Structures are given as C-alpha cells and as structure tokens.
Amino acid sequence: MKETITKEKAKEVKCFHCGEDCVDNEIRIDEKVFCCNGCKNVYLILNNNQMCTYYSLEEKPGVSQKNHVHKNYDFLDDETIQQKLVDFSSSNFSSITFFIPQMHCSSCIWLLESLYKLNNGIKNSQVDFLKKRLTVNFNPTETKIKNIVQLLNSLGYEPQLNLEDKEKETSQEQTKKLYYKIGIAGFCFGNIMLLSFPEYLSITQTESQNLNVLFNYLMLLLSLPVFFYSANEYHISAIKGLKKKIVNIDVPVSLGILILFIRSFVDIVFYNQAGYLDSLSGLVFFLLIGRLFQNKTYYALNFERNYKSFFPISACVIRNGKETTIPIEKIEPGERMLIRNNEIIAVDSILIKGIANIDYSFVTGESSPVTIKNGDLIYAGGKQIGTAIEVESIKNISQSYLTQLWNNKAFLKQKESKVTSLANKVSKYFTFIVLFIALSSAIYWSLKNPAYIWIAVTSVLIVACPCALALSTPFTLGNILRIFGKNKFYIKNTAVIEELAKIDSIVFDKTGTLTEQKNFTIEFVGTNLTDDEKILIKSTTRNSTHPLSQKIFNSINTKYYQPDEYYELPGEGIEAKIFGNCIKLGSQQFVNSNNFELPKDYYSKVFISINNVVKGYYKISNNYRDGLKLLFEQLKRNYSITILSGDNPSEKNNLFQMFGLAKNIFFNQTPYQKLMYVGSLQNAGKKVLMIGDGLNDAGALKKSNVGISVTENTNNFSPSSDAILEASSLKKLSLFLRFCKTGEKIIIASFVISFVYNLVGLSFAVQGLLSPLIAAILMPISSISVVVFTTFTTNFFAKKSGLI
Amino acid sequence: MSVIIVLLAFSLLIAVGFLIAYLWAVKDGQFDDKYTPSIRILFDNEKNKISHQAQNSELDKSNNDLSNQNSEFKKRSS
C-alpha cells in the first residue's frame, strides 16, 4: 500500500426524512442529516414552503429517495393519454385520480392534501388512504398533468400511472347498492315489526278492527320495496340457476321469500289476518347483512393484473437526434429507443449501443441478468440494469414475444366456474326434501281436511326457508377472510376459502417465493482480507452496475475512493487501479485463478485478485425465507409438494438438504412449462395450489385451482391471482390451510343446527299450526343463533391456532 | 282512535325522513372512505395557526409598545 487508508466507522445515523441509515458522506443541512440528496431535496422543498408540519405529525415519514429515478414525463402532454387519465375535464376545471402506493402514514395524507401550496394551479386534493388514491382538482389553464406528476415525483410519491385503471369503480357501485338495499330492508323490517305488535300481543278488540286492517295494509305497503327491490338479487340468481338447471342456494331462499309474500298477501287481502311480513323483511335484512359481511374487499390490492400493468406507458425514442417520449402503442418497428437504468423494454428490439445487462426475472424467473451483445435480440419484458442503452425495435407491442405469450390460449383460459360451494350442494337436496314434505302434507290434508291444504303447504315452505343455510356460509367465510387479512393473507373472495379446503397438491415457485428477493448471504472464501483490501474491493465494485458487484459493494462497510483506472469487460469482470494497486474481480478465467480448488457446489462466485495474487472468492447465494423447513415438514404430511424454478440448478443441493423432496424439484422451467405441469397434475385429478411471485408464474397461477402470489411489499407488482400473501406470513401457510378445513367443519356444524331448527318448525307447519307469531319468533332466533355460533366458533379456533 | 292514526302517520313520516337522509349520505359517498377523515381531523388547521401567529405578533407589538412607554416613562421620571 502506498498510502495509508484510515479506518472510519460510519455512525448509526438515521435520515431525518426517511429514517434509513446514513452510510457514507453525511449530507447535512439545518442540523439535520439525510441519507441521500433526494431526501434532502424533498426537505428543502417542504422547508421553503413552510410545510415542515410534515415532519411533526410522524417521525421520519418520508419515502426513501435512494433509488429515485428522475423520469421523463413528456408523454403526459399527449392528448389521448390525458383523456384516458382524467376523470373529468372542462376549460377551467379538471379532476384526476392517481394511485400512489407509497402513502403509508398521516404525514403522507397531510402533504398530499397540501399540494395546493406547492402549485397554484391545484385547487385542492383529497386522499383516500385505504385505496391509496389521490384525487387532484386543478385548473388546466394554470397547470398541466405533467407538472402535477413531476411535483408528486419530486416529493417521493410517484403515482402509478395505469391507463386501464378505470374499471374498478364497479365494485364501489355494487357496495353502494347493497347499502341502499340494507337501509331499505332495515327500515321496513323495523316498522313492520312495530305494526305487528297488536298481533304479537293478540290485541284483537272489536272496536280496533279498522285499525288492524289499516295496520295490515300498511305492512303490505312496506313489504313491497323489500320484496321487489332488496330481495331482487336472490330472485334473479335463482331464475338464472334454474335456467341452467342448477338448484343453487338462492333457489330455496327465493322460493321461501316468494311463498312468504304470497301467503301474507292472501291472508291480508282475503282473510284480514296479519300475515308473515315481519318474518319476510327480517329474513331479507339478515341475508343482506350476511352478504355485506362477506363482501370485504382489499381496495389497495389488485388481484387482476396482467402484463400490461407492469409495462411502461411510454418509451423514450430518438428521432432525428432528438429524444421524445411516445406512448408504447405508437412504437413502430425500426424505432430507436433509449432505455435507462431499471427501465423495462416494451417491445422486442435489437441492441445498437451500450452495455446491456438484461434482467428477465419477470418473464422467466431466472434471477441473474443476461449480458447481450451488440446486434442481439432483446425480448420485451426484460429490464436493463446499468447504464443507458440504445435499441432498435423490430416489432410493435402487440407482436412482441411476451405479449404473444400472454395472449396464448392457455393463459387466457378462464377458470372453469368455481366448483359449487358446500351450501349449494346441500341446498339441492334441501329443496327437494322440502318440496317432498310439502307434497306429502298436501296429500295427507286432502284426505283429512282439504281446507288445511293451502295453510299446511305454505307453512312448510315458509318455515323451511333455509335462512340458517344461507347465513352460515357468508358469516363463517367472511370471518375467516378477516382473520386471514389480519395475518397479511389477503383473499379475493370467500369462494377461494372453500377451494383452499379441498387442495391436495402444492406447487411452489422458487425464486422470490421460497427465497427472499433482496436478501442474500455473501461469504468470502480464501485468505483473510485486510481492511485496506476491503476498501480496494469496495472502491472497485462501486462503479459497476452488475448485480453481483452491487451485492459485494453493499456487503463491505468501509470508505471507498474513485479508482484511477477502471475497465469493465461485460460478462467477465472488472479491472481497476487504485493507489497503484491493481485489482481484478470476476469469473475464474478472468482472474486467472484456475488452479484454485473449488468445492462442487452451484453458488455464484466472484473471484478476487489484488496485484495478481488470488485472494479467494465471494460465495453469493439467496436466503431462504424463515420457517420454511418447519412449514415443509408440516405440509408434507398432508400434501404432495413440488418446487418449480426458472433458475439454473445452482441451489439443487441446498434445496434437497432443506426440504428433502428429491423427486419433485424441476429447474429451468419456462412459464409455459410451469403451466403445463399444473395442468398435468389437474388431469390426474389433483386439486392444485400454486404459489408464485412473478409474471413468469402468472400462467400457472391462473391455471391452478387456487393461485397465491407472494409479495414482500403489497405495493409491488404481483401477478393476477386468487390471493396475495405477504412473504412474512408464508411460514403460516399450513395453519391457513388447516383453518380453511376447520371453516368447512364449522359450516357443516351450523347446518346441523339449522336442521334441528327446521325439524321443530316443520313439526308445527305440517299440522297447520304455524301462526305468524311462532314464525316471528322461530325465524329470527334461528338466523341469530347461526350467526352467533359461526362467528364465535371461528374466533375460538383462530385463537386456538394462534391466528388472532 | 284517531290519535293513533295521527301518531302513526307522524312516526312514519319521521322514519322516512331518516331513511332519505341515510340514502342521501350513501349516494353522496359518505361511506366510501371510512378511514381518512379520522386522520384528517387531527391536522391543525393552518388558517387558525396563521391567525394565532398574527395575534401573537400583535401582542408582541403591543407589549413592545408598552415596555417602550414604560422605559420612556422611567427615563422621564428619573
């Protein structure tokens, strides 16, 4: 060493803006320390506008700016794109809604609602935190969409622009409709019960006869909106089912409601009796509440993503030596494009200029980047890592490899309509048995006393209305949905839970699912490195964009210097001169360390030589997530497990040691092969659960009976799936699966309760003794008892298995 | 007897009023976002702050004036 290099340990300082560690040269301003210039700039913007309230609401509320990419938003000046983005536009007032995944605390809400202080054109802005949406109202003559997006980007809240995000409003509308229906049903239910009180207390004085008639007709009037509006979905669904010759759960429900209404109508109009309208409206009210309970949606999550939602909206093209940004639909073959670091190539292209390290992990699952030579083909969906490159498109977007792949029939195949749920299965038998009992009682009374036929038959159909049957499923599954949500396992809808209970085979993707995406173990094998040598290595790797170099750079905690000479040979290694020392990093051949003894394993290795002395190599491997070994032991008892990996077999031995699944591990799997594998299991009559994380698993996730996508951050991209599981909860998977089975058992138990209640009710009904009073007591009691039973037992078992 | 009918009509009228209010609230989107308003209420109202500052500066001014007057008075008296 020609110069002594002093050691300096960086103190544990946290960034004032985002709370991350400040590693190297500390950036200070106003006595405050920042981890990067990006964070400092945000602070300056806020400070100059007297908006430091942002920092007083929450501790270190900012979004880290370390990986902040300054993007070109010129494409937002394009008229067609603007029209797709805005909700409403007029000459001096426009409104636009952004999806902002980064918002996470009250400071974010405060800042995003104070945008008008930073841009005079913005009138106001409103946050919907659970949906992570920001609605901005602005004056288009004073500011442009581009300026608003740039402002958000400079504050660290880069909006996710998606031109196909306008369809999600339908669920909102449906929820509103359900609220209307519940409101109306509840209102009518309450008032009808009040009007029924004379009947309950059997007040039938002769002088109040007129009043009774008035009450009865009022009840009839109040029941009309319940029957025709609140309950209409049950009727529609029942008719649809019958048209397809399916007796679903809505058939007996709708039949029961219909008979209740007709019987009450006849009683009121012809016999001047009270009828069963309180039972009718109460039943509809409870059913709708059950539906609401089942309808929990995770707004901020997207279960229906396809490749388009992770593609860029625009590309930077070079025309006549000038850079312009155009929407990707407009890219023609032969277009010169500039691809910057971490940008995704939208169409198949040929490399013209620059060093291309393409990360295809989204497409294939292979985690290490591919080096591309000039003139070689780059497929759409690859991500450039490193310096900017120039490419020339050879196809347009619709004909690119990836788009073609996802438009393949296998991927487009809709899942066969969900297997009939348990309630639907039972309801079929239930309906026929009830009809049989009604018929037999009709025959019995026709022989004994024909006047009773009408009463007995309608009573049977009224009392056997499967309210308990229809309520047990939504309340049990709705509660499980909530319990899973608390455990960061987000399920698209309740039908998925019933599917999960039937699973018998599980297929795992490896990269990013079993292994952590960002964490890895890095270990140096060879002669011990001195601190000075470490500084040399860190300084060398600093200039390289290769992922392995960056991992080494981040693993060494020292200072670094600018190398005097630096040379990178793509795909081989780096050579650098620092203070007269010559350092080589790279492959075995590059470092001339062929005589170095190697253990037979498949780790990625980076060899180091300093002044032509081989020091050893860095062994880099992915970390497996916590608790997997235990998880696999639990799962192996009840399920057949397969691991599919798009990666090379470098982790083979590791996997065998960890999971001991010698037969069922496959490497180098293309997305299509994964899909076919899931299909082959299904053809063998298996119910397959697929667990993956990237676009390369999208086909298999779609094909499987249940597809779960694992993600480390729910804001990140996740392919379309039935459920989204936060990676930290992957170890609980066997608990989740077992709990789904418990849920099934709870539903069956509540069917038994419903059966007992029906037995009691029918014994009254066949004798023609079902007075409105008995119905008014029996029906709510059965409904409420089922709701209480299911909620209580699911919570009890969740506590028992540690999910609450 | 007729009093019951009057009461009935009146109670239904009020109940319908509440029902309409509820439906209006749903239509207006009051149930769309049940979380953000609970946080928004905690933010200090900026305008109040500014007026506070203004008041404070006014107070400071008048205090200064008073102390100046006092000091002048002392000078004179001395």
Residues of B in contact with A106 (CB under 8 A): 39, 42-43
Of the candidates B1, B23, B39, the beta carbon closest to that of A129 is on B39
Residues of chain A with pLDDT under 70: 1-12, 23-26, 67-70, 163-170, 204-208, 304-310, 362-368, 401-420, 465, 517-519, 545-547, 570-571, 593-603, 648, 650-651, 661-662, 714-717
CB-based contact (8 Å) between B36 and chain A? Answer: yes
Exposed/middle/buried for residue A417 (C-beta within 10 Å: 0-12, 13-18, 19+): exposed
The vertex-A434 CA angle with A428 and A440, nearest 5°, equals 135
**Cβ of residue B41 closer than 8 Å to a chain A Cβ:** no
Residue A467 has a pLDDT of 74
Q: What distance in Å separates the CA atoms of residue A503 and residue A554, rounded to the nearest whole number?
A: 42
A290 to chain B nearest CA, in Å? 18
Spatial distance between the Cα atoms of A95 and A106, rounded to a whole number of angstroms: 23
Interchain CB contact of B28 with A (< 8 Å): no
Chain A touched by B1 (CB under 8 Å): yes
What was the pLDDT predicted at A9? 41
Q: Which two tokens stand for residue A764?
A: 């009254």
B25 and A CB contact within 8 Å: no
The closest CB to that of B19, out of A172, A187, A207, belongs to A187
- For residue B33, CA distances in Å to A104, A126, A179, A330, A697 come to 16, 11, 14, 38, 34
CA atoms within 13 A on the CB side of A28: 5
- Residue B66, pLDDT > 60, answer no
- The nearest CA of chain B is from the CA of A482 a distance in Å of 17
Q: Which amino acid is at A558?
A: T
In chain B, residues with a C-beta closer than 8 Å to the C-beta of A130 are 33-36
Give pLDDT, residue A168: 55
State the pTM of this model. Answer: 0.80
Q: What residues of A are in contact with residue B15 (Cβ under 8 Å)?
A: 187, 190-191
Which member of A110, A128, A211 has the closest CB to residue B43? A110
Strands A613-624 and A581-586: unpaired
Which pLDDT score, from 0 to 100, does residue A792 have? 93
A431 within 8 A of A252, measured Cβ to Cβ: yes
Determine the distance in angstroms separating the CA of B76 from the nearest CA of chain A, rounded to an integer. Answer: 44
Do the Cβ atoms of B31 and A179 come closer than 8 Å? yes
Q: Which structure tokens are listed for A505? A: 């085979």
Verify whether the Cβ–Cβ distance A176 to B8 is below 8 Å.
no
DSSP A499-532: HHTT--EEEEE-TTTTEEEEEEEEEEEESPPPHH
Please state, in angstroms and rounded to a whole number, the distance separating the CA atoms of residues A110 and B5: 54
Query: Contact at 8 Å (CB) between A725 and A489?
Result: yes
B65 Cα distance to chain centroid: 33
B26/A183 touch (CB, cutoff 8 Å), yes or no: yes
Q: Residue B40 is nearest to which of A109, A187, A208, comparing CB atoms?
A: A109
- The two three-digit tokens of residue A324, written as one number: 């312009």
Please check the confidence at residue B52 and state whether its pLDDT lies above 50: no
Contact B8 A218 (CB under 8 A): yes
- Tell me the chain A residues in contact with residue B32 when contact means C-beta distances shorter than 8 Å: 128, 172
Share of chain B above pLDDT 70, in %: 55
Three-class SS of A28-42:
EECCEEECCHHHHHH
pLDDT at B17: 96
Predicted local distance difference test score (pLDDT) of residue A412: 55
Nearest CA-CA distance, residue B39 and chain A, Å: 6
Q: Which two tokens stand for residue A501?
A: 């209970």
- Residue in chain B closest to A191 (alpha carbons) equals B12
CA A647 – CA A309 distance, rounded (Å): 24
Task: For chain A, say whether B48 makes contact (Cβ under 8 Å).
Answer: no
Hey, which residues does A22 pair with through a beta bridge? Answer: A13
Give the residue from chain A lying closest to B43, CA to CA: A110
Check B4 against A211: CB less than 8 A apart: yes
Size of interface A-B (CB pairs under 8 A): 55
Yes or no: say if A32 and A16 are a contact pair by the CB < 8 Å rule: yes
B22 and A183 within 8 Å at the Cβ level: the answer is: yes
Of A110, A130, A176, the CB nearest to B33: A130
* B20 in reach of chain A (CB within 8 A): no
Inter-chain residue contact B23 with A208, CB threshold 8 Å: no
Question: Which residue type occupies A303?
Answer: F
